Chains A and B, each alone.
Chain A
Amino acid sequence: SAVISQKPSRDICQRGTSLTIQCQVDSQVTMMFWYRQQPGQSLTLIATANQGSEATYESGFVIDKFPISRPNLTFSTLTVSNMSPEDSSIYLCSSRAGYNTEAFFGQGTRLTVV
């Protein structure tokens, strides 16, 4: 199993500012993903973080708002840019070692935008 560390675990930010969330996996993994869980909602996939190339974004999410980096097989960052109160959510990093394996999750970053 993989252990995923996310930081910060929570933050309160002013609207219009940006926050970068870091995700560190304790082993090399093939796939890394970023999810969002809005209050009372399910987990929604934001994007697949691709090593050394641009992330693959899901419908409704764009690179200008959620830039993602993945410089190597164990580390990724998600930036929430120009934040508004609607961005208040839990952001979760996830990894999978391969197809037909389970995905592991970090503990999440609880973001509140005021």
Chain B
Amino acid sequence: DQQVKQNSPSLSVQEGRISILNCDYTNSMFDYFLWYKKYPAEGPTFLISISSIKDKNEDGRFTVFLNKSAKHLSLHIVPSQPGDSAVYFCAAAVYNQGGKLIFGQGTELSVKP
């Protein structure tokens, strides 16, 4: 039962353009969502998060949008840079389940110069 889904295994974007990474979830109890970036041979690095009481959170080039009715969130990166090339994971948590994060399968982003 995959509660968090990233249906696009890969995405290729031109440098300077917008990257949009998508994530869907099935558990309506999720109330906190996070995006992580992962390079090979490293642990995931936190990017940005959003609480279920919000529909948008912005941090520099990164913006996360949450659509609770559709159980969908997206990460926008603009402008995209070659250094953004990595695997991006979305994750979700439920407040009363001990704080554990459930991860999607990941999307590999390639930003071409």
Contact = CB atoms under 8 A, between A and B. Distances in A.
Contacts of A42: 89, 103-106
Contacts of B34: 102-103
A33 B46 CA distance: 16
Given A42-B89, A43-B89, A100-B51, A92 B99 contact: no
A106 B43 CA distance: 6
A41 interface: yes
Interface SS, B side: strand
Nearest to B101: A103
B65 interface: no
Interface in B32-70: 32, 34, 36, 41-46, 49, 51
Contacts of B95: 99-100
Most chain B CB neighbours (cut-off 10 Å) among A4, A43, A100, A107: A43
Interface string B80-113: 0000000001010101001111111110000000
Interface residues of A, number: 27
A31 interface: yes
Contact of B43 (A31, A44, A48, A107): A107
Contact of A31 (B32, B99, B102, B106): B99
A104 B46 contact: yes
A110 B41 contact: yes
B79 to A, nearest CB: 24
Contacts of B51: 100
10 contacts: A4-B43, A42-B103, A99-B93, A100-B32, A103-B91, A104-B46, A105-B36, A105-B45, A106-B43, A110-B41
